[in-house]
Amino acid sequence: MPSLQQIADELSVSVSLVSKVLNNRLGTTGARPELAARIHDTAQRLGYRKNLNAAALKAGRQQAIAVLIHRHGSQGSGLVEALLAGISHATRQRHQRQILSFYDGIAEFAEIVHEYHTGMIDGLIVSGVRHPNLMDELLGLHSRGLPIVTVFNRPISDVLPNVGTPDDQIILAAMRHLIALGRRRILHVSSLKDREVGYDLGLKEAGLERDEDLVFYDRGDDNTFVLENGVRAVRRALANNVAFDAVCAQSDTQALGAMHELIRAGKRIPEDIVVTGVDDSPFARLAFVPLTSVDQRYEDRGQQAVELLDRLVRQQPTQSIDFEPVLNVRQSTEPANADPESTVNDQRTTN
Amino acid sequence: MPSLQQIADELSVSVSLVSKVLNNRLGTTGARPELAARIHDTAQRLGYRKNLNAAALKAGRQQAIAVLIHRHGSQGSGLVEALLAGISHATRQRHQRQILSFYDGIAEFAEIVHEYHTGMIDGLIVSGVRHPNLMDELLGLHSRGLPIVTVFNRPISDVLPNVGTPDDQIILAAMRHLIALGRRRILHVSSLKDREVGYDLGLKEAGLERDEDLVFYDRGDDNTFVLENGVRAVRRALANNVAFDAVCAQSDTQALGAMHELIRAGKRIPEDIVVTGVDDSPFARLAFVPLTSVDQRYEDRGQQAVELLDRLVRQQPTQSIDFEPVLNVRQSTEPANADPESTVNDQRTTN
DNA sequence: TTGTAGGCGTTATCAC
DNA sequence: GTGATAACGCCTACAA
């Protein structure tokens, strides 16, 4: 662990000069090119790495951000992993470190943040399930001067910059695809009214009337998307002899449930009924019939969140940003493939 | 961001006293109880938090560890998320920060580590896919004094402590379950010879002979477990009229492929054929028939890895540790449930 | 029982 | 062009 001091000793120059040269902070004048080169060489040879703690201490920063994620309800969706991939990529470029924590409830959230608040981090990225009481907690922290960026689908407050994908756009992307496929009787599995807006938009664009028989709303346990909702939606529609030629679910788990029930009822996917989900989960391509799904761009959003937080820490102006959801088409909305083995093929473009 | 200095000023005492009191480092003697109490109170009132950078600088540590993970081939398994949950839990207790990075190849790995090596981290936790050239890289870093702990199924070197779950034990756990269910003709979907050992052990315990017709070995693309292997294994067995009453796969994805092919062939799960997987992926419970699977304890192992690394950094003696895999039984090896909706129920005990 | 002094590695300011 | 000095916040001998 060589320090500036060692490089300086080696060359019999001063530490401050070495610092200036290595950081390109030479002011108006500059150093003798030959000397500068020798300094760079020695640094290289000794394998010098800046001590981030010392630099941060001097700068009054922490060069670290906390990432707080509520995992509940997203298991298997790969969202957390995608978000972290984006965040880690961006923090690496910025020579920042993370403090990663998963929290289960608002109490644990408060506890963690209190522990970190100052002295350890420069700011906070919050994502995962949007807990009802979370906003008060975050606003409290915000008013005490802690930079915060959220990664929810939409901003939870005007004062907290958010990196989102609009819920209505998510479902609208799926609806446009279904409409383009010629489907008109689209069963909507809904647990979130914000997303239902996208369903209505899609119908409207196609000049279709909303049929309440085709909308199955159930907010699920704990406000999360569950497989059972898909099962129930399909079961009810079939039991009531409601005709439908497509299922537009608000999550991949719901879509899976719907597909399972359709298969049990002897329906063929996609010949009889086509199905779309949301999240572009890793298991979407592993399903019995690989599932068409809308990508919420979590990896991109993670990167963007780090950037926003950085601006916030530097007191630069910031504002919420939205990413456009991307539809990935798979077999559940395509003509059946001759060889089931090749169903794993994938038309994914982002991530 | 109050400092020790501010507390000291407030009470007109010295910084060092405040430091000693707050850290319980009073040496042999001790401070006046009344004063100590007042110091604690003021710290509390001012919301004092230790500046981790300053403390780490003084201690010659970084209070940060790098976590390097190769994601390839594990998408959807939830392993990365579980590992990170364990690591983040343990690092929080230790007031450590992480530098999280996902790498794609050995070149990127080397680049990342070189960037971090000194000045930013105290040590390294490596997990994910075990890349062939990784060992040389790690041994090089080790010889240069960087503390490293690996989280692979088995140690890759004597000098690098590892937190593992033995591959043979993983499959053995599944085999014992299948044997206990009375199954004797067990089709093994294999991509990893180390795990095949567990298959043989299981047969041996039951006094069974290995039948080569029942073992389908295919290392898959890029040494990873893929769905197609399960498809092909079942297809071949059925085509050759090989009788079997169970499928023991080496991963959940393989097991999914096998189940899909069995269903397409009109077999009933679990009545005709029972199926087991490995990873206890989130999607195991979301499958058409919820899948019995072996948990590799990644969350526990992540925690343990942080602990080992801590010991390594402190130059305390360390050695590799193994965790015992845990089988989670679901419908794919149980009598069918009357109500398909309740198939999501789960007998999971850990994680 | 409390205080003083020095240093961890870096950088900014100012002097030479 | 280059160097001396001070400071970031914390900790720990050592002194009083």
Which pLDDT tens digit goes with each residue over B302-329? 999 999 999 999 999 999 999 999 999 9
- Dihedral, CA atoms, B235, B240, B241, B247, nearest 10 degrees? -40
Angle between helices B252-264 and B227-239 in degrees, nearest 10: 40
Query: Between chain A and chain B, how many beta carbons pairs sit less than 8 Å apart?
Result: 154
A46, A102 Cβ separation under 8 angstroms: no
Residue in chain A nearest B89 by alpha carbon: A101
For residue B223, the model assigns a pLDDT of 61
Whether B16 sits with its Cβ under 7 A from any strand C atom: the answer reads yes
Q: Are A66 and A113 in contact (CB under 8 A)?
A: yes
Contact B153, B166 (CB under 8 A): yes
Other Cβ atoms within 10 Å of A132 Cβ, number: 9
- Please report, rounded to whole angstroms, the spatial distance between the CA atom of protein residue A16 and the C1' atom of nucleotide C14: 13
pLDDT for the residue numbered A341: 46
Q: Which two tokens stand for residue A7?
A: 């490089």
Specify the length of chain A in residues: 351
Nearest protein residue to the C1' atom of C1, measured from CA: B31
Rounded average pLDDT per 10-residue block, chain B, 351 residues? 89 91 76 87 90 92 92 79 94 90 90 79 91 88 92 94 98 98 97 96 97 93 83 97 98 97 96 97 94 97 97 94 98 68 39 30
Q: Do you find a cis peptide bond into A317, omega within 30 degrees of 0? A: no
Q: Could A288 and B119 be called an inter-chain contact, meaning their C-beta atoms sit closer than 8 Å?
A: no
- Helix, strand, coil share of chain A (percent; to 5): 45, 15, 40
- The alpha helices in chain B, defined as continuous H runs, are 4-11, 15-23, 33-46, 52-59, 79-93, 106-116, 134-143, 167-180, 193-205, 227-239, 252-264, 298-313
Tell me which residues of chain A have a pLDDT lower than 70. Answer: 27-29, 73, 117-118, 221-223, 335-351
**SS3 (DSSP) at B156:** coil
In the 94-153 stretch of chain B, whose C-beta falls under 7 Å of nucleic acid strand C? 119
Q: Is the CB of B24 under 7 A from strand C?
A: no
CA/C1' separation A162–C3 (Å): 50
Residue of least CA–C1' distance to C2: B17
Reduced to 3 states (helix: H, G, I; strand: E, B; else coil), residue A32 is coil
DSSP A105: S
Closest CA to A102 of A137, A75, A121, A123: A75
Q: Residue at minimal CA–C1' distance from D6? A: A58
Do B340 and A261 make contact, defined as CB atoms within 8 angstroms? yes
* C-alpha dist (Å) from residue B227 to A281, A289, B185, B198, B235: 16, 13, 22, 21, 13
Spell out which residues of A between 9 and 68 contact strand C, using CB within 7 Å: 15-16, 19, 22-23, 25, 27, 48, 50-51, 54-55, 57-59
The reported pLDDT for the residue numbered A28 is 63
Residues of B in Cβ contact (< 8 Å) with A51: 57, 119
- The whole-angstrom separation of Cα A171 and Cα A215 is 13
Backbone angles phi, psi at A326, to 5 degrees: -125, 130
Give phi and psi for B61, each to the nearest 5.
-115, 175
Q: How far is B208 from chain A (nearest CA, A)?
A: 32
With distances taken from each CA to the C1' atom of nucleotide D3, the closest residue turns out to be: A14
Question: Gap from A46 CA to C9 C1', in Å?
Answer: 16
Residues 6+ positions from B344 with CB-CB distance below 8 Å: A226, A227, A228, B285, B286, B290
Phi and psi of B276, rounded to 5°? -125, 150
* Structure confidence by residue, pLDDT tens digits, A259-305: 999 999 999 999 999 999 999 999 999 999 999 999 999 999 999 99
- What is the percent of chain B with per-residue pLDDT over 70, rounded to a whole number? 92
Q: How far apart are CA B291 and CA B275, in angstroms?
A: 7
| B101:A88 CB<8 A | yes
A119 and B50 within 8 Å at the Cβ level: the answer is yes
Is there a cis peptide before residue B270, judged by omega within 30 degrees of 0? Answer: yes
The pLDDT value recorded for residue A71 is: 81
| CA–CA dist B269, B291 (Å, integer) | 10
Contact flag A263-B288 (C-beta cutoff 8 Å): yes
Choose the mutation target among A1, A48, A50, A52 for the interface with B, i.e. most B CBs under 10 Å.
Answer: A52
Q: How far is the CA of B268 from the C1' of C10 (A)?
A: 68
Burial B12-26 (b: 16+ CB within 10 A, else e): ebeeebbebbbeeee
Nearest CA-CA distance, residue B201 and chain A, Å = 30
B76 DSSP 8-state letter: T
Length B23 CA → D6 C1' (Å): 28
pTM of the model: 0.91
